[in-house]
Structure formats: C-alpha cells, structure tokens
Amino acid sequence: MVDGYTEVRGRPVGGRGRWLLTLVWVGIVGIGGVAVALAWLGWTAVLEPKTPRDYGEVAIHSIKVLLLSDIYYDRDLIGRANDHFFFPARALGLLASVLFAIRTIDAALGSQFLEFLFRSSTSKHHVVVGDGPAAREYSATHTSMFRKGRALHLSATPLPFSARLATFERRGPLKTQLRHVAAHRATRIVVDEGDDADTWQTAQAAARIYPKAQVLAHITDPWIKDQISRERVGSRLVPFSFAGGAARQVLLAHPPFLLAKALGEKRQHILIVGFGQVGQALLREFTVTCVLSDGGKLMITVIDPRAEALSKDFATRHPHLVKLIDVAFVPGDFRENDEALLRNIRGRTALAGICAAYVAIDQVRHPLDMAFALRSMAQREKLFQAPIFICAQHGAGLAPVKAGAGNLINNPEVLEERHKQAMAEGILCNLRVVSFGAWPAAFDGAGMLEPDFDEQARRYHAEYERFRLDRDRRVKGKIIQEPAAWRDLSDGLRVSNRRAAAHMRAKAFDAGYDLEAWLSRGKCPETHELPPAMAEMRTDDPGFVHRMARLEHMRWMLDRFLDGWAPGPKSDFNRTRPSFVPFEDLDEEDKEKDAVVIETARVLMKEWNSGKKRRIR
C-alpha cells in the first residue's frame, strides 16, 4: 500500500553556528579595515607623501599594523603628535590579528577540541543516529520539546553547534561513532536511517552495545512494524512511527466521542481520506482508544481509489475485527463531481453522522486542496458538520487550535456566531479545516515526551499485576500466576499496555467525567497526561465496575483482533484465546481480570494528579 502513504520529509538542523562564523569573519575584516585606515591617516601625517612611491610606502606601513610590526612602537619615527591615530590603530590591529589567529587555529584544531569539550561535558543526553526524517526533525525540535538536556546527532553532514545540540560526522563503525558521542552516558538513542531495514539493524546493534540506553527506532511501514512487534526484543529497544504518533495525538487531543457528543450524534463515525500509513494508523488508534460502553459499533468510512482491493485485504487480515466495527471502503475523489461517491457517503451518514474527517493523503495528491474540496462538498450537499483534520507535518499554514471539541454545535441558528468566536479564540468549530501531524505532536503521540519513555505503560502494567496478585490471594488463597516483569514482556504485550493506558481518557469520559473542560483548560495536555477522574471511577459500586469491565473486555478484543489474534484454544504461538466471547459468557476469573483494569485506571489517575509521577522533562 505504498501509493497512499503520506509523504514524510525532514529538514536539517543548525543555522546559529553559521551566523556566528559569519559574524567572526565580518568582525575580522571590519576591525582590520578600520585599523588599516587609521594607520594610513597616521603615516600620511608622518611621511607627507607626494609621489606614488611615497604612497606605496604609506600603504606598506599601514598594512603592517595587522602584522604587529615594531615600527608602531618607534617613537622617534611616528612622534607623539600622531598618537591619536596610531594608538587606536595598534589596538584594533592587535584585536584583528588575535581574532584571525584564533579562527585559523580553530579551523585546524578547534573543531576537534570543541567536540571534545562538548562531548566530555555532556551526560544524560539523547543521541540521534541517521539522516532519516525522524532523526532530523528530532534534532531540529529537541530544544523546544525538552526544557533541559542536550542532543548529539550522528549525521553524514556535519552542522554547526548550538547551545544544546551538536552534530557529529559519522566516521568508522557504529561502535566508534557511538563512543564518539558518549552514548554510554546517554539516556536515549533515536535511530532513523531513512530505510526501515537499515534503521532496525542499526537500532539492534546500538541496543546490544549499550543495553542500558533506551533505543527508539523509527519504522515507517506498518507491516514491518507489526512483524517486529511479534519478535521478542529487549525491553529497551522500541519501534515507533510517525503515523502512529500523529494519529494517537490528534485522537487524544480531539476525541471523536467528544466531537460526536457536541454534534448530537449517538455513534462515533469518522471519515478517513487515504489509507496509507497515517490512514491505517488512524483506524487502529480510533478502534482501541475511543470505544465506549454505550456508543454502539464504531463506524469508519475510508475514501481511497483502491477501495475494492483495500476492503478485501482488510477483511482477510482482520476477519474477526470486521464483526465488531463497521468499516466501509469507498472509491472516489471529492475534487471531482462523483455522484457514486456522494451516494455512498449519504448512505453511510444515514446510519450515523460523521463526527470527524481526516485527510491523510500524500503531498503529491495535494491534501490541502482535498480538504477544502471536502468541506465545499459537505456544505453544498449538507453531508456533515464535523471538523476536517489534514495531516501536515509543518502545519500547511493553518492556525493551530486548542484541544477538545471547542465550539462544535448541532444548532444551525447560531453557527455563524460560534464560527466567528472559534476563529478568534483558536478552537474547533463546524467544518473548520485544521492540521495535525506536526513532528513534535507525532513524537508526543509516540510517547517520546514522557520524562521516562513508557513510564505510563510500565506503571499501568505494574499496578495491574499488583491488583491481580491481591485478588488471587484474597479469592483463591494463593498466587495462580507469577507476575511478569516489564523487561520479560514481548513487544506485542508492551504495545497492548500502551494502548490500554491510552484508553484511560475514554474510560474517564464514559464514567461521567467532564473531559472537555480538562482538555480545553489551556495548554493541550500531552498524550501521557491523565485527567483527575478519580471520583468518577467508582470502584466500590458493583454496577459501575460491571459496566466498565464490559467496556474493557470489548476494548481488549478489538486490540487483540487488530494484531491478528483469533478465537481458539489458548496459544501464544497461534495467537488464539478462548475468551473472545461476549462479556456475559466469560467465566468469573476473566471478568475479574477486566475489573482489575478499572481499579488500575483509577489508581494511575490519582497517582498522576497527586504529582508523584509528574516530572519535568
């Protein structure tokens, strides 16, 4: 499915260093020129030239001011009367000469010495390896994303230093390169070679050399990332993707269930234009982070020219998932007068109104043009009133908006007034076109802005295991299964824990918490932040726990089916479980497991909002 991929681009870092070097050279030339001019005036007064030979002698004497000539200290020659020329000329000539000498030495030895000083004074930093888009963007935005700490970038092209970022040219084998940037003192190594196979190979090698460092590998292809997640890799080696991070961030910042509520819709129905990397990620993240207990089947309508082939492929890969969610693939282009597309969309919206639309096509197909064409059709044909999100890694020139549902409303009489207010306040409104997928937001969605990567998922797993052990001791009098440490989990199970943690906002909303007020309170909460919904998580109410446990069971089935699991005898190798049945048909032990998740969510919300786990990056 390469044709539909959203294009991924990077940009180089640096710039401040080049300006500093330019300023030094301008200073040398300017100061030297003034020194020579003053010296010329002084020697003209002393020698009183009349012939060209005399003027040549004045020029030679003037230039010698840059060479620190001793003639400028010969009082018998220059006399004291002209000291008002020669004293500043000597001072400026000395300064220009010293600056030139320093710059010359720096050109020969200074870069290596500066590298040594920077490297020896750096610890607990981030190392960035490669010239792929994620590597370049992580370096470019590191200072703005993190309030402290340095980044050292291993790149094929050396770039000037800045206060908290240095770029080192890659020379020699990987081990030598990593030693060159003090990777043994680094807390994180981010790898993007521009090719998935090369990236994963480099990341595995880095993880073997420095097993204590967190190694994050940018894998763009969803299929390759899925295969990697099935391997048993070290707990400190983690694949991530721009597409997955961008999708999770926009869905947690503007949850479709909030948008549906504001628009008066009882079911969540999203429209995805383009089914490449970002489109697929949107479907996955929507499925596992937005399911509610009483919202009916999730609806996804995908618009893509390859709709027929995509539909067959999706049904083949996820035969059990399509029974739990309503997915439709529709061919067409909103920029054309496509009556068949219009009929299909009308048929879908008759089942449930669209609460959010996402344009996730590549740059060649002009996504901004597509977004405005979609808005025009929605207005003209009265298809929907939902906001339209366009994947644009550098904003597409659209104004940013605050998190939450903003001024979305299902009242046509006040649409114009609410639209003006939304545009003035920078919030969502009906049919507003907004961007998502900026690189810092994608890094946030991938969990890379957590002070300790995977901290929330680790805490989720640890608390779940603690509650499970307590229940075993209380109900059965013994521990049935020993707890599994995070480092012993497969990457697939770690991904499952991350998804479960990401669903806690939906659980808070389902429990009755005012998530809209929390999201729109000011700065957009980062994806690992949790709302203070402890009071709404009534774990002492059996009816509430039963309802939320049923919700968790549905979320768990959707999560497992997305990863290719199927009903059958318990087998990790075959990816089968007998518990893929309705919640009411589960045995009590499996129901207790789902109930434990609700207690875990409550504890994590309380812990986060007490400040115990809130650390500044």
Per-residue pLDDT tens digits for 309-359? 999 999 999 999 999 999 999 998 888 888 899 999 999 999 999 999 999
Whether 372 maps to a domain, the answer reads: yes
Based on the domain organization, do 338 and 426 belong to the same domain? Answer: yes
For 526-550, write each residue's pLDDT tens digit.
888 899 999 999 999 999 999 999 9
Whether 615 maps to a domain, the answer reads: no
With bands split at pLDDT 50, 70 and 90, how would you rate the model's confidence at 116? low
Write out the residue range of the structural domain in which residue 550 sits. 454-609
- Measured CA to CA, the distance from residue 454 to residue 457 in angstroms comes to 5
Q: Give the model's pLDDT for residue 403.
A: 94
477 CB neighbour count, 10 Å cutoff: 7
For 251-294, write each residue's pLDDT tens digit.
999 999 999 999 999 999 999 999 999 999 999 999 999 999 88
- Measured CA to CA, the distance from residue 286 to residue 248 in angstroms comes to 8
Read off the pLDDT of each residue in 212-220 and give the average, rounded to a whole number. Answer: 90
What total of structural domains would you count in the chain?
4
Asked whether 410 and 262 are in contact (CB, 8 A), the reply is yes
526 CB neighbour count, 10 Å cutoff: 16
- Measured CA to CA, the distance from residue 144 to residue 314 in angstroms comes to 39
Based on the domain organization, do 53 and 168 belong to the same domain? Answer: no
Based on the domain organization, do 436 and 461 belong to the same domain? Answer: no
Closest CA to 216 of 446, 373, 513: 446
Asked whether 576 and 516 are in contact (CB, 8 A), the reply is no
Asked whether 15 and 163 are in contact (CB, 8 A), the reply is no
pTM: 0.80
Q: Give the model's pLDDT for residue 70.
A: 63
Q: Give the model's pLDDT for residue 157.
A: 75
Q: Which of 2-11, 373-382, 462-471, 499-508 has the lowest mean pLDDT?
A: 2-11
- The three-class DSSP label of residue 484 is coil
Q: Give the model's pLDDT for residue 2.
A: 30
164 CB neighbour count, 10 Å cutoff: 15
Read off the pLDDT of each residue in 441-466 and give the average, rounded to a whole number. Answer: 89
Whole-number average pLDDT of the chain: 85
- Element at 91 (helix H, strand E): helix 83-105
Q: Give the model's pLDDT for residue 522.
A: 72
Cβ within 8 Å of residue 570, ≥6 positions away: 576, 577, 578
Q: How far is CA 183 from CA 129, 156, 160, 209, 337, in A?
A: 11, 18, 20, 9, 57
Based on the domain organization, do 267 and 396 belong to the same domain? Answer: yes
Cβ within 8 Å of residue 102, ≥6 positions away: 110
- Element at 23 (helix H, strand E): helix 16-47
The enclosing domain of 219 has a CATH number of 3.40.50.720
Q: Give the model's pLDDT for residue 485.
A: 84
Instruction: Decide if pLDDT at 112 tops 50.
Output: yes
Q: Which residues pair with 542 in a beta bridge?
A: none
Based on the domain organization, do 163 and 237 belong to the same domain? Answer: yes
Q: Give the model's pLDDT for residue 377.
A: 92
Give the end of a domain, one of 241, 259, 277: 241
Listed in sequence order, the DSSP H helices in 106-221 are 111-120, 133-145, 174-180, 196-209
Q: Which of 16-20, 312-316, 363-367, 433-437 has the lowest mean pLDDT?
A: 16-20
- Measured CA to CA, the distance from residue 455 to residue 510 in angstroms comes to 24
Q: How far is CA 37 from CA 63, 85, 240, 248, 530, in A?
A: 9, 9, 61, 64, 67
Whether 616 maps to a domain, the answer reads: no
Based on the domain organization, do 65 and 130 belong to the same domain? Answer: no
Read off the pLDDT of each residue in 433-458 and give the average, rounded to a whole number. Answer: 90
Give the end of a domain, one of 206, 221, 241: 241
Residue with the bigger pLDDT between 491 and 514: it is 514
- Measured CA to CA, the distance from residue 454 to residue 461 in angstroms comes to 10
Give the end of a domain, one of 214, 241, 268: 241
Q: Which of 8-22, 216-230, 513-527, 547-561 has the lowest mean pLDDT?
A: 8-22
588 CB neighbour count, 10 Å cutoff: 8
**What share of the chain in percent tops pLDDT 70?**
87
Based on the domain organization, do 438 and 460 belong to the same domain? Answer: no
Task: Give the angle subtended at the CA of 15 by the CAs of 13 and 18, to the nearest 5°.
Answer: 135
